[in-house]
Structure formats: structure tokens, C-alpha cells
């Protein structure tokens, strides 16, 4: 059984506005939101200089059962490849997972998400405006851009192991990075 979810991303990548997630019945099921560590980090984007190496990507999200925090790892650990820690708090416990960048060419971004001893690969294809999530070379989620302005996403899930806030939080990280 597949489930469909819809969301609209902000036009401005540096926005910290809440991004609502709705289901096929147009009922809000959760949200994701970009967070800044400090006011200084937020003001860097208004600088005429390109200071992207100082930028960190942090995403928070919540649905009815889970709370999500995506935190970029330290500058030192990100020198070779970018990595994020993903904290998923459900009512029972807090879980920590790893998201790492596997991109070789920037026009073909790939991220590997390690969750519960499984490796999900996020493959973003900017030319046909889709992002496919695979597990063991089997597609389990498709995220498609339906409209360019504003960027409207349709997510079709065929798995129950990933939550919608995890998927769209990771997609938003990919979108902000590439």
C-alpha cells in the first residue's frame, strides 16, 4: 500500500519558515523547518561575500508520533565528505542515525542514510525533477517536484520503516546542499 504526501518548499533557501506536510486528504500530518544556531549565522546570508563554508544546515521536524532533529557534524569531520546526525525521538526512545554524502559529481547528488542496519540511498535527478530512495536496489520512495514555482513536492511511499518527516527532512538537506 502506497501513501502520498504533499508539501511546498520555500522559494528562498535561507528561510526558516515552517514547511507543512499534508496527506492526500489535505490534512496536516507534520512539518519541517530550517534552524540556525545563532543570529550571526542567519545574517551571513546577507553578506556580499560568499561564505558558504561557514553555513551549517540544521533541520527540525515533528509529526504526531515523532520529533526529528538533523544536525550537521563538526567542521573537522566534514572536511572530506559532509555528514549529518539524525535524531529521531519517538515516544519510547531517542534514536541516532547517520546521513552521509556519497556525491561524486554535483549534478548527480547521492546521500546514504544508515538506519537500523539498513542503507537507504537517496538519488536526486535534477533533469527529470525526481528523487528516488532505494533499499537494496529496490525503489521504496519517490519524491517528485510537481511545480517549479513555488517548489511543490509529491512524495509516494511504499515502505513503513521511514517516516515522512525523515524523508522530507533529508530531501530538504539535499536541496539546500546541491
Span 17-40, average pLDDT: 87
Residue 46 has pLDDT above 80, yes or no: no
Confidence of residue 99 (pLDDT cuts 50, 70, 90): very high
Confidence of residue 52 (pLDDT cuts 50, 70, 90): low
Please give the model's pTM, rounded to 2 decimal places.
0.87
pLDDT value for 51: 53
- Residue in this structure with the C-alpha cell 545574517, named with its chain if needed: 43
Span 96-106, average pLDDT: 90
Residues 125, 144 contacting (CB under 8 angstroms): no
Residue 10 has pLDDT above 90, yes or no: no
Distance CA 21, CA 27 (A): 8
- CA-nearest of 16, 7, 10, 123 to 63 is 7
Span 126-134, average pLDDT: 90
pLDDT value for 161: 85
- CA-nearest of 99, 93, 141 to 119 is 99
Residue 58 has pLDDT above 90, yes or no: no
pLDDT value for 1: 65
Residue 139 has pLDDT above 70, yes or no: yes
Percent of the chain's residues with pLDDT above 70: 89
Residues 154, 6 contacting (CB under 8 angstroms): yes
- CA-nearest of 66, 18, 70, 65 to 177 is 70
What count of other Cβ atoms lies within 10 Å of the Cβ of residue 33?
18
- Residue in this structure with the C-alpha cell 508520533, named with its chain if needed: 65
Who wins on pLDDT, 134 or 16? Answer: 134
Q: Which stretch, 11-15, 133-137, 146-150, has highest mean pLDDT? A: 133-137
DSSP strands (E only) in the chain: 3-8, 19-23, 28-35, 58-63, 67-72, 83-89, 94-101, 110-115, 118-125, 130-135, 138-147, 152-157
Pairing label, strands 83-89, 110-115: unpaired
Amino acid at each position: 500500500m502506497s501513501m502520498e504526501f504533499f508539501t511546498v518548499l520555500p522559494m528562498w533557501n535561507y528561510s526558516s519558515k515552517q514547511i507543512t506536510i499534508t496527506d492526500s486528504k489535505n490534512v496536516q500530518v507534520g512539518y519541517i523547518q530550517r534552524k540556525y544556531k545563532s543570529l550571526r549565522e542567519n545574517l551571513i546570508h546577507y553578506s556580499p561575500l560568499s561564505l558558504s563554508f561557514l553555513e551549517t544546515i540544521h533541520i527540525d521536524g515533528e509529526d504526531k508520533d515523532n520529533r526529528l532533529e538533523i544536525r550537521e557534524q563538526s567542521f573537522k569531520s566534514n572536511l572530506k565528505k559532509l555528514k549529518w546526525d539524525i535524531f529521531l525521538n519517538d515516544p519510547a526512545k531517542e534514536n541516532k542515525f547517520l546521513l552521509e554524502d556519497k556525491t561524486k559529481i554535483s549534478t548527480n547528488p547521492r546521500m546514504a542514510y544508515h538506519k537500523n542496519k539498513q542503507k537507504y540511498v537517496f538519488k536526486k535527478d535534477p533533469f527529470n525533477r525526481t528523487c528516488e530512495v532505494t533499499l537494496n536496489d529496490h525503489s521504496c520512495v519517490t519524491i517528485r517536484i510537481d511545480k517549479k514555482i513555488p517548489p511543490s513536492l509529491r512524495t509516494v511511499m511504499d515502505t513503513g520503516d521511514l517516516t515522512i518527516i525523515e524523508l522530507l527532512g533529508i530531501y530538504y538537506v539535499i536541496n539546500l546542499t546541491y
